[in-house]
């Protein structure tokens, strides 16, 4: 096999984050160099614990988990217990983690890794608010040209927002961090709601995961059955959008996705549209094309890949 692709997953688990992490851990093409937790769906003390629970569920207690920012750069933390439950990982009963949290701060880990490892060999995969990534870029601007790519879940345009009519949760929670990342010059691949809302769970797809007959399969099915109810009620769909695993699936099978390079600019002033990602899909401005924005997904192919890889854990 060719060289494994080395990734750092920055995350606010969250059931969909959990599935993304397990997809990565079940894929031999990837090396998870570290997992950095950020405040988002639930407060940091829960997101870092949930990240460790997921690593142990996946049978990978050696993965290094770091705690990062406890709140956004400028704004108060907004969480999403109504979607993810009080623990952030409602659904399965998972034991308290035994693996230790790393002492090093997540931002220091990101900077140290990018400065020490060969330039262009580390991909950042943010699945939550971009606070840790922005702080790393501020702490050491020299990391920007050394980052191979940032593949992130966040934003929305044709689909609108999910936390306000204009903004998607990850960007809304820390729009200033998103602005720093979008202006960083680092190659960005963006998975907005426009594509993740087409990666819908369903009873059939969840049943295929449960039919794996493993602890991971059962726990994942329970996570999805809890997680999907909120969006099913809100959107009247059969199933909920599996946002974060789209990031990992792109690394494994980019052809599952279709999109185009666009300018993406984020609102950081107006309270009405705070956190809105203004995506110039039709190229009507001369603003630089700073992100490859995905809009379409082969959802059957996505779920087939996900189920097969979860089956390896």
Rule CB under 5 A: is residue 17 a binding residue for Ca ion? yes
Contact partner at residue 149 from Ca ion, ligand RIB, none, CB < 5 to 8 Å by partner kind: none
Select 9 or 297, whichever has its Cβ closest to Ca ion. Answer: 9
Burial label for 187, CB within 10 Å (0-12, 13-18, 19+), is middle
Rule CB under 5 A: is residue 127 a binding residue for Ca ion? yes
Span from 77-85, 155-163, 243-251, 296-304 in contact with Ca ion (CB under 5 A): 243-251
Contact partner at residue 194 from ligand RIB, Ca ion, none, CB < 5 to 8 Å by partner kind: none
CB of 189 to ligand RIB, least distance (A): 15
Rounded Cα–Cα distance for residues 56 and 104 (Å): 20
With CA atoms as reference, report the closest residue to 99 among 144, 147, 50, 46.
50
Rule CB under 5 A: is residue 24 a binding residue for Ca ion? no
Interacting residues with ligand RIB (CB under 6 A): 12, 14, 16-17, 40-41, 127-128, 153, 162, 168-170, 243-244
Contact 154, 192 (CB under 8 A): yes
Rounded Cα–Cα distance for residues 119 and 149 (Å): 11
Rounded Cα–Cα distance for residues 142 and 204 (Å): 47
Select 111 or 294, whichever has its Cβ closest to ligand RIB. Answer: 294
Contact partner at residue 47 from ligand RIB, Ca ion, none, CB < 5 to 8 Å by partner kind: none
Contact partner at residue 168 from ligand RIB, Ca ion, none, CB < 5 to 8 Å by partner kind: ligand RIB
User: Looking at residue 256, what DSSP letter applies?
Assistant: G
Q: Which residues make beta-bridge pairs with 294?
A: 259
Backbone dihedral angles phi then psi of residue 193, each to the nearest 5 degrees = -60, -25
Active centre residues (catalytic): 243
User: Looking at residue 226, what DSSP letter applies?
Assistant: H
Quick one: angle between helices 215-235 and 15-25, nearest 10? 140
Span from 55-63, 128-136, 183-191, 272-280 in contact with Ca ion (CB under 5 A): 128-136
Which residues contact Ca ion (rule: CB under 5 A)?
12, 14, 17, 127-128, 244
């Amino acid at each position: 096999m060719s060289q494994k692709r080395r990734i750092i997953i920055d995350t606010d688990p969250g059931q969909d984050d959990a599935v993304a992490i397990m997809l990565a851990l079940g894929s031999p093409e990837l090396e998870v160099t570290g997992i950095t937790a950020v405040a988002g769906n639930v407060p940091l003390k829960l997101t870092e614990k949930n990240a460790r629970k997921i690593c142990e569920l996946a049978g990978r207690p050696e993965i290094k988990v770091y705690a990062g920012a406890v709140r956004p750069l400028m704004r108060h933390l907004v969480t999403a217990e109504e979607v993810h439950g009080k623990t952030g990982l409602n659904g399965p009963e998972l034991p308290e983690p035994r693996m230790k949290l790393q002492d090093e701060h997540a931002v220091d880990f990101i900077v140290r890794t990018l400065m020490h490892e060969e330039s262009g060999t580390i991909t950042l995969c943010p699945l939550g608010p971009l606070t840790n990534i922005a702080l790393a870029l501020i702490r050491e601007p020299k990391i920007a040209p050394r980052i191979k790519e940032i593949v992130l879940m966040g934003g929305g345009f044709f689909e609108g927002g999910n936390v306000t009519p204009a903004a998607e949760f990850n960007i809304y929670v820390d729009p200033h961090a998103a602005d720093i990342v979008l202006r960083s010059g680092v190659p960005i691949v963006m998975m907005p709601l426009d594509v993740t809302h087409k990666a819908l769970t369903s009873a059939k797809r969840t049943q295929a995961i449960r039919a794996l007959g493993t602890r991971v399969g059962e726990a994942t099915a329970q996570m999805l059955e809890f997680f999907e109810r909120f969006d099913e009620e809100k959107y009247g769909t059969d199933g909920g959008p599996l946002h974060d695993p789209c990031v990992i699936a792109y690394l494994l099978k980019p052809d599952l996705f279709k999109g185009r390079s666009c300018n993406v600019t984020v609102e950081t002033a107006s309270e009405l549209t705070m956190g809105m990602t203004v995506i110039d899909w039709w190229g009507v401005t001369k603003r630089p094309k700073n992100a490859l924005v995905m809009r379409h997904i082969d959802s059957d192919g996505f779920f087939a890949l996900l189920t097969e890889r979860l089956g390896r854990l």
